[in-house]
Structure 1
Amino acid sequence: MIEVRPAERFDDVAVLLGPKKNPDATVCWCLSHRLDSGTNTSLVGPARGEYVRDLCSQEVAPGVLAYLESEPVGWAGVAPRRDLPIARSRVVPTVDTQPVWSIFCIRVRPGYRGRGIARELVEGAVEFARGHGAPAVEAVPVDNGAEKVNLTMAFVGFRALFEEAGFVKVADTTSVAGGYPRIVMRCQIVRDPIRGE
């Protein structure tokens, strides 16, 4: 059974995002689409992991993790769009003034792919954003149809994945990943007045 929880445990986040062989290596740590370019390039080696460690200790976690039993097997980065570089993008339009959240990275560990973990991550990220008052959640996946996408570019997700999770296309972009166009997709969150949401 897959369980999705806020990414509050740094050691578990490191399993998904940290360097695999050399702990001092400069790897993404899912910061490339979270930070402005200057800050992102200024963080090298272990400083990147320390930045993520600090994010994990904040009141709002930097994303969600999927667990299979007690093993961390997947990650989704999600945050308010206004706090991300995409809010100032020239190639990805801002659809309207809603304070949406954005899913900007999805990763499933090798050996665990093909088990529905990515969909659980997307749905868990939506619930996480809902819990923090988001009116909607967006993503900018590739619109690749049934074509294969290079796994290095798969972190943005695929249209079909988000459609399965209830997202709909709301805009085109001029952004491309892995040779395929990216589109803006949105899941509008419906509040339940009986539960006080």
Structure 2
Amino acid sequence: MTHLTIEPATADRFPDAERTMTGGGDGASCWCQWWMLAPKEFDALSREQRRDRLREDLAASVPSALIAYVDGDAAGWVKVSPRPDQPRLARTRNIQKSPEPMDDPTVWAITCFVVRREHRSQGVASALLDAAVDHARTSGARIVEGYPLDSDVKRFTSNELFHGTLSSFLAAGFTEVARPAAARPIVSLTL
């Protein structure tokens, strides 16, 4: 039986954040900066520069992400922070369909999951989702939103699933509040 723990992604855990990002998928190219930067700014940065920005992000007083450990091995990552702290969200047409004001710091967004290949299909992403909700709640969030993909409508690659799946969010108690595109719902959980 495996032992799963989840901890805040803090500056002293940067090596663990690196491990989660380099276990398959786009984590090592994005370094969880997609929602933090305008498209031109994101494209202008090298992978190394994005990695350095992540290191800076982990120094924040309130962690903006969590790391899952399976038997002590850094196995997964989830980004969860106030929506205004992820400025690309306000510029994304589909997400602008949210019923909540884009500049409300009490609305938190769960925007990115990364699970290393060897730890997939073991419940790591679901545990990260639950922990992200708890983290948002204890940090003062009023609402937590997610922007998952509906895999019942369309098949997605594992790289595209960094958003999470609709079924996982619904199982965690979220409710669909908008559907700006056929396979792209917006879900919300009032805390």
Measure, in 2, the Cα distance between the counterparts of 1:42 and 1:62: 23
Task: Work out the percentage of aligned pairs sharing the same amino acid.
Answer: 30
Measure, in 1, the Cα distance between the counterparts of 2:64 and 2:43: 19
Higher alpha-carbon deviation: 65-74 or 82-91: 82-91
Once the two structures are TM-superposed, the CA of residue 94 in structure 1 deviates from its matched residue by 2.6
Measure, in 1, the Cα distance between the counterparts of 2:43 and 2:151: 30
1:28 aligns with 2:35: no
1:129 aligns with 2:136: yes
Once the two structures are TM-superposed, the CA of residue 87 in structure 1 deviates from its matched residue by 2.1
CA contact (8 A) 2:108 2:145 kept: yes
Q: 1:165-176 residue pairs with structure 2 within 5 A?
A: 165-174=172-181
Q: Letter of the aligned partner of 2:166 in structure 1?
A: R
Find the counterpart in structure 2 of residue 17 from structure 1: 21
Decide whether aligned partners of structure 1 residues 41 and 102 sit closer, same or farther in structure 2, where only a CA change above 3 A counts.
same
Q: 1:47-66 residue pairs with structure 2 within 5 A?
A: 47-66=49-68
**Structure with the largest fraction of helix:** 2
Measure, in 1, the Cα distance between the counterparts of 2:23 and 2:116: 13
Q: TM-score w.r.t. structure 2 length?
A: 0.86
Measure, in 2, the Cα distance between the counterparts of 1:142 and 1:161: 10
Measure, in 2, the Cα distance between the counterparts of 1:46 and 1:144: 32
**RMSD of aligned alpha carbons:** 1.9
Measure, in 2, the Cα distance between the counterparts of 1:119 and 1:102: 16
Find the counterpart in structure 1 of residue 91 from structure 2: 88
Extract unaligned runs of 5+ from structure 2.
Answer: none
Once the two structures are TM-superposed, the CA of residue 142 in structure 1 deviates from its matched residue by 1.0
Superposed CA deviations along residues 120-170 of structure 1, whole A, max 9, x for unmatched, are 000111111112100111101111228642111111111101111111101
Higher alpha-carbon deviation: 33-42 or 117-126: 33-42
- Matched residue count: 179
Decide whether aligned partners of structure 1 residues 45 and 150 sit closer, same or farther in structure 2, where only a CA change above 3 A counts.
closer
Extract unaligned runs of 5+ from structure 1.
Answer: 21-25, 175-179, 190-197
Higher alpha-carbon deviation: 11-20 or 44-53: 11-20
Which of the residues 146, 159, 164 maps onto 1:157? 164
Measure, in 1, the Cα distance between the counterparts of 2:69 and 2:175: 27
1:105 aligns with 2:112: yes
User: Partner of 2:36: helix, strand, or coil?
Assistant: coil
Measure, in 2, the Cα distance between the counterparts of 1:33 and 1:64: 16
CA contact (8 A) 1:106 1:118 kept: yes
The runs of at least 4 aligned residues of structure 1 exceeding 6 Å deviation read none
Greater RCO between the two (CA within 8 Å, min separation 6)? 2
Q: Letter of the aligned partner of 2:48 in structure 1?
A: P
